[in-house]
Structure 1
Amino acid sequence: MENLRFCSFVWIGRVQKWRRRTKYGNSVMDHKKTTATAVAGGDSLLETIPESILNEIFMRLQPETLTTLCSVSCVSRTLHSSVNKLLSSFSSIDLSEFSLDSQTFDGIIRRFGKIEKITVDCLRLNDASIRSFLGPDVEELILLKCSSLSYRLLSSIGRTCPNLRVLTLEFSGFIDKSAVFDLNLEGSLGSCRFLESLQIKVRGGEINEYGFMLLGIYHLLPQTVKILKLQPASALETLVYLRTFNYTSLGVLIAPTIFGQSLTHISLVLDSITDVLLRTIAHSLPLLVELDLKDRPTSEPSDDLSDVGIQSLVGCRHLTSLSLVRSRQLFATSFKRTTDMGMFLLSEGCKGLESIRLSGFSKVSDAGFTSVLNSCLNLKKFEIQHASLLSDLAFQDISKAPRSLTDVKLVSCSYITSEAVRELASCRDLESLNLLGCRSVADSCLTNVSRLKLLTSLNLGGADVTDNGMSVLGNGNAPISTLSLRGCKRVTDRGIAFLFKNEGKLGKSLSSLDLGHMPGLTDDGIRSVVDGCLGLVELCIRNCFHVTDASMEALGLKGSSSSNKRFEGEKSKVLRRVDAYNCSGLSVESLRFLKKPLFCGLQWIGIGGTRLICGDNVGLDEIQRERKWLTICSDGCEMGCHDGWQYHKFGL
């Protein structure tokens, strides 16, 4: 199994170190056996440790991944027994980070006992693998990337798991439409008498073309459903369903249906968001707590959302989370009929909002956004995207009153500068700050940002920051675990070195780093990351043309005993995901670094647009056979292919 040799040595070392600190220490020192002997011999030192003690250790530890536990179980009979007992006690499993083949998956799933909650990446699995754990015990089932599963299997889930409370299914839009007739959701959903949350996603394709997969879904919903998320959803069918059961033939509003009375969360991806749709949802769902609507118009909508539609939300007395997003994926347009007046009405009628996300409101100015900030005193998440009229003025007084903001996201707001960021940094509870595409944000605000003691996520993608700004971040106290510098053209290798100098907090806290689209990044910068970042598990260097094979070798060695001398006594994590898309400086020689024992623990790597996929791919085939847990993406997907899996096949 992947990581067997490495994980075995690590765990043996841990157990030996633990024994030296206990009453068993003397006997261990007397043996003076090598690690290799301990692994190979039947009279291993591990066999002498009472199983009850190992069980206690495993229950206290929090292994990084399932891989580690499965690997150490092969070291000795005692460990094998302890690990199996631990796994059999788990009732909740999340395998979404692994793209497993059926054989490996079956070997893992057999170790578990009664499974109540499970999340699975199904891309490489077959029907038999899924059937192996389905049953009355399953209450929460999340099946992602279901392109390899038959619709007949998915249609039988409700009958096989009648006690389901949460069901999520994710399909590919690029399918044989005739096969959809096997997707009989009526029989499946009709058997789930306790279903509270239903989420169905169809990834890829246009809404009008693939929306047929979910036709009639509203009429199949059990009355117990409280959370409904559909992608895509037909705006017309949503209106027809809600209006059919809520209006008389004369158009007079009557009492909502039982289904409407129970629904508290609704999330829909539509072709167009209109006033009629918003008004109907507001009137039909009296207990609505979360409303999440996103549209993807293919042309300029004729009946678009306006202030009138926004005003209808005032009647949603329980609303705490609102998201209205216009995607620019298919057609660059915006909500041109919604103005500051709509925001004024919203802020006065929905003062209980705790989370708000607005994207594409090109006619709303600082006055409108400020009214929301000032009126919604419990606001924790504030996200604005593609707001061409939003400027620093919206945040100029934010430091004068206590704020509970924890998550702020300002994407592609070109008038936002460092002055606004300094004001936002007065919110001491801030945990996440996203300034992607705010090109006027510079170094001058980073001193304030670096003092935020709860900040774990920072996105400076496309900002006008420099190496000096990186020095400020490196010396700060913010425990940042996720950092994006994508497209920061003025940051060079020198700036990357500044981030991790003097053994600052960032070197220990950072786990995810995005250095994509940075022309000043070379092998020296990558070496600084390898030497200075103890906990890094995810790295993006896409479109960094000066990165060569030397960087791949350094990354492959990360986590080995020789790579992190400066953090003596602390365990360095290994890289799980690497995005090297379109790194033209990489040659086919880098393939040898993807072979064992380098890149121990690697789960995903993106190498599309590089010379690593040139030729007959014999080398990649060999690597794939050797490392069955590794996903090799030869396309241009972002990290993990979470939004690109429907367009291509994994592996080679």
Structure 2
Amino acid sequence: MAMGLLETAQKQSKMVGVGLEGLPTTLINEIIVKLDTETLCSVACVSRALRFAVSEALPLSSSLDLSAFSPDAQTLNHLVSRCKGLKILTLDCLRLDDSSITIFLGPHIQELNLLRCSLLSYQLLRSIGESLPNLRLLTLELSYWDLPEVFNRNLVQMLMGCSYLESLCLKIRGAEFDATFFRSIEHFLPKTVKILKLQPVLEQDVIRFIHELRVNRNILETAEFGIPFSPASPGFKLQSLSLVLDIISDELISSITNSLPFLIELHLEDRPSKEPSPVHDLTNSGLQSLRFCCHLTDISLIRSRHNLPVYFKRINDMGMFLLSEGCRLLESVRLGGFCRVSDAGFASILHSCWHLKKFEVRNALLLSDLAFHDLTGAPCSLVEVKLSSCNLITSETVHKMASSRRLEVLDLFGCKSIADSSLSSITCLNKLTTLNLGGADVTDRGLSVLSQGYSPISHLCLRGCKRVTDKGVSLLFHGCGVISKTLTALDLGHMPGISDKAILTIAAVGTGITELCIRYCFYVTDYSVEALATKRRLQDGRKPLRKLDLFHCTGLSVKSLESLKRPFFQALKWIGLGRTCLSGKRNEICNERPWLTLCMDGCEMGCHDGWHFHRPETIKVGS
């Protein structure tokens, strides 16, 4: 919105024959205060007036979000040192070590989000506890260093120092489940914590943790009021619990529901390393016990296929009936791996949960179009629907979705029976911003239909759509609909019909594209990279590419190296070059573009889940 105002002001200033310097200072300042940090850094380069306005605005900012790129220590120091009243700090720490962070920590920080901490040691936990006594919210994404006792010791020190903590999110990426990582956390967790997210953790540790936490509260309540503690006591304030663990069982669910009756959000994902035993798994009884969490509005139960293809084999339609009847206030439901639940079970949630807005199902072998047959009669108003790898879903379901006029997100990744006939219904969704058709049976003709519609789609995934060719991409961008103007992120990965012709179309007329994935497109050559580099400049309203995925594009040669040098790709922040001829030129590219994050490991766009593989192995861990 603010950027739109800025562009409008710039156009108007040109019309009257003045530059941005000629605009009223009050107008510029009014726009500047509404921009995020990344945009501020960009507009500061546009003109002297904007650069001055940004320099004036930074010291007044109480929030600084640098998660969109990975600053080095020098840049971070330059920005943070100007923000005198900083209370909220969010950083991408891929290039930062402990010393880069600790110098900014102080009592003024109330919210700290440190993401992709490849170089940070566990010692930082202790520093946070010593320096941030007023911290309310903490998010830490740490790399696995195989030193759980060091982590635990520093974690205790941190929790003892942050006595006002309300939200705690700790993720250790790249680790197998370790029984000792979060040991003793229950003894030191501040009473003020309302939101708790831990990854990874063992089921038995969670059960023990909840039991000990309940016992400790019992002791505290008895000592303070002279009466025994009960689960319904207002002193127990945990409202959101999110865990990634080894197994979800009835015992775990029972422990949670008996001790955390005020839960509003419950997110559980398990990653079993072997097939769960019949006596130690989640069953219908476990789902039924969720009725005791009468305030629950958001639930996620996912059996991940991270380690091996396993399912919740002991839950059927009856379990879903019990869940939908006991938790009628649900607004968001995410279910994954329920192989024995049929249409009747899933439909019961759609028809019983009147306030349902988000509905996601993954790897449901028996889910078909019948679950959505009477969607017009359902009381809920869906905003987000994700049906991933549900092979029985066809275009008929999409036709039913057309009745959900509020739909903003439609994810049908892996639904192979979705065909061109569904796209005419999608064009009727005038609030749809995200569409995932990965692996669908759509063709160029279907994209032609999509190009004529009024859906303001900004994110489109066509990955694995093998019947889409260069012609389809051209039709998509040359239609009379709105998608050619609203599209910002496009995924064309694993598509054998895509070649240089499609990329040239994007470079020429895809003015809004900032994220482009063409991984495993074997017919893409150096010509495509050159076209993207030379045609996508900051001019005529074009938005520059910020992320580009070229993983396993074997048609590229070292000639493309010239296109990655300055002044090309001015705004590029991330690029995937693994399994290409350019992977051996990493040092040369880094020397030329120190701000560019290079991924050689095949991570998805931005390395959201793979960043822990990029840490330098020479870094040592503090004790």
Question: How does the TM-score come out when normalised to structure 2?
Answer: 0.91
C-alpha displacement at 1:99, in angstroms?
1.5
Q: Which residue of 2 aligns with 1:543?
A: 520
- Please say if residues 186 and 210 of structure 2, whose CA atoms lie closer than 8 Å, have aligned partners that are also in contact: no
Which residue, out of 15, 29, 52, partners 1:55? 29
In 2 relative to 1, CA 196–16 (structure 1 residues): closer, same or farther, beyond 3 Å? closer
Distance in 1, matches of 2:596 and 2:356, equals 41
Please tell me whether residue 187 in structure 1 is matched to residue 162 in structure 2: no
Root mean square deviation, CA, Å: 2.7
Q: Which residue of 2 aligns with 1:255?
A: 230
**Residue type at the aligned position of 1:478:** S
Q: Which residue of 2 aligns with 1:118?
A: 89
Distance in 1, matches of 2:284 and 2:136, equals 37
The residue matched to 1:343 in structure 2 has which SS?
Answer: helix
- Please say if residues 152 and 181 of structure 2, whose CA atoms lie closer than 8 Å, have aligned partners that are also in contact: no
Distance in 2, matches of 1:590 and 1:308, equals 59
C-alpha displacement at 1:121, in angstroms?
1.0
Bigger drift between 290-299 and 259-268 goes to 259-268
The residue matched to 1:145 in structure 2 has which SS?
Answer: strand
Q: Which residue of 2 aligns with 1:205?
A: 175
Distance in 2, matches of 1:16 and 1:324, equals 49
**Residue type at the aligned position of 1:589:** K
Q: Deviations over 1:559-578 (max 9, x none)?
A: 3267xxxxxxx511100000
In 2 relative to 1, CA 63–531 (structure 1 residues): closer, same or farther, beyond 3 Å? farther
Q: Which residue of 2 aligns with 1:332?
A: 309
Distance in 2, matches of 1:277 and 1:202, equals 21
Q: Which residue of 1 aligns with 2:72?
A: 101
Q: Which residue of 2 aligns with 1:630?
A: 596
Q: Which residue of 1 aligns with 2:485?
A: 508
Distance in 2, matches of 1:476 and 1:488, equals 20
C-alpha displacement at 1:53, in angstroms?
5.9
Distance in 2, matches of 1:176 and 1:493, equals 48
**Residue type at the aligned position of 2:87:** E
In 2 relative to 1, CA 463–151 (structure 1 residues): closer, same or farther, beyond 3 Å? same
Q: Which residue of 2 aligns with 1:67?
A: 41
Distance in 2, matches of 1:273 and 1:176, equals 24
- Please say if residues 340 and 367 of structure 1, whose CA atoms lie closer than 8 Å, have aligned partners that are also in contact: yes
Gaps of 5+ in 1: 1-10, 29-44, 563-569
Please tell me whether residue 387 in structure 1 is matched to residue 383 in structure 2: no
Distance in 2, matches of 1:650 and 1:527, equals 37
C-alpha displacement at 1:103, in angstroms?
1.7
Please tell me whether residue 408 in structure 1 is matched to residue 385 in structure 2: yes
Q: Deviations over 1:122-165 (max 9, x none)?
A: 12112232123211111110111223123223212122111111
Bigger drift between 577-586 and 627-636 goes to 627-636
- Please say if residues 138 and 163 of structure 1, whose CA atoms lie closer than 8 Å, have aligned partners that are also in contact: yes
Q: Map 1:526-541; keep pairs closer than 5 Å.
A: 526-541=503-518
Question: How does the TM-score come out when normalised to structure 1?
Answer: 0.87
C-alpha displacement at 1:356, in angstroms?
0.5
Distance in 2, matches of 1:432 and 1:274, equals 31
In 2 relative to 1, CA 60–613 (structure 1 residues): closer, same or farther, beyond 3 Å? closer
Distance in 1, matches of 2:143 and 2:402, equals 41
Distance in 2, matches of 1:97 and 1:561, equals 19
Aligned length: 602
Distance in 2, matches of 1:465 and 1:221, equals 51
Distance in 2, matches of 1:311 and 1:123, equals 43
The residue matched to 2:201 in structure 1 has which SS?
Answer: coil
Distance in 2, matches of 1:55 and 1:17, equals 17
- Please say if residues 443 and 472 of structure 2, whose CA atoms lie closer than 8 Å, have aligned partners that are also in contact: yes
In 2 relative to 1, CA 650–522 (structure 1 residues): closer, same or farther, beyond 3 Å? farther
Gaps of 5+ in 2: 219-227, 619-623
Q: Map 1:453-532; keep pairs closer than 5 Å.
A: 453-532=430-509
- Please say if residues 285 and 319 of structure 2, whose CA atoms lie closer than 8 Å, have aligned partners that are also in contact: yes
In 2 relative to 1, CA 258–640 (structure 1 residues): closer, same or farther, beyond 3 Å? farther
- Please say if residues 151 and 179 of structure 1, whose CA atoms lie closer than 8 Å, have aligned partners that are also in contact: no
Bigger drift between 480-489 and 86-95 goes to 86-95
C-alpha displacement at 1:409, in angstroms?
0.5
Bigger drift between 282-291 and 212-221 goes to 212-221
In 2 relative to 1, CA 549–348 (structure 1 residues): closer, same or farther, beyond 3 Å? same
- Please say if residues 207 and 252 of structure 2, whose CA atoms lie closer than 8 Å, have aligned partners that are also in contact: yes
- Please say if residues 631 and 650 of structure 1, whose CA atoms lie closer than 8 Å, have aligned partners that are also in contact: no
- Please say if residues 45 and 51 of structure 2, whose CA atoms lie closer than 8 Å, have aligned partners that are also in contact: no
Which residue, out of 222, 228, 232, partners 2:190? 222
The residue matched to 2:391 in structure 1 has which SS?
Answer: coil
In 2 relative to 1, CA 415–12 (structure 1 residues): closer, same or farther, beyond 3 Å? closer
The residue matched to 2:410 in structure 1 has which SS?
Answer: strand
Distance in 2, matches of 1:433 and 1:533, equals 22
In 2 relative to 1, CA 16–274 (structure 1 residues): closer, same or farther, beyond 3 Å? closer
Which residue, out of 124, 148, 173, partners 1:153? 124
Q: Deviations over 1:40-74 (max 9, x none)?
A: xxxxx8878775565355346678634314434xx
Q: Which residue of 2 aligns with 1:87?
A: 58
Distance in 2, matches of 1:437 and 1:180, equals 42
Q: Which residue of 1 aligns with 2:222?
A: none
In 2 relative to 1, CA 49–460 (structure 1 residues): closer, same or farther, beyond 3 Å? closer
Please tell me whether residue 268 in structure 1 is matched to residue 238 in structure 2: no
- Please say if residues 329 and 353 of structure 2, whose CA atoms lie closer than 8 Å, have aligned partners that are also in contact: yes
- Please say if residues 148 and 181 of structure 2, whose CA atoms lie closer than 8 Å, have aligned partners that are also in contact: no
Distance in 2, matches of 1:105 and 1:355, equals 37
Q: Deviations over 1:226-278 (max 9, x none)?
A: 00000011211211232345579xxxx96239797200000011110000110
- Please say if residues 120 and 142 of structure 2, whose CA atoms lie closer than 8 Å, have aligned partners that are also in contact: no
Q: Which residue of 1 aligns with 2:349?
A: 372
Same amino acid, percent of matched pairs: 52
Distance in 2, matches of 1:47 and 1:511, equals 30
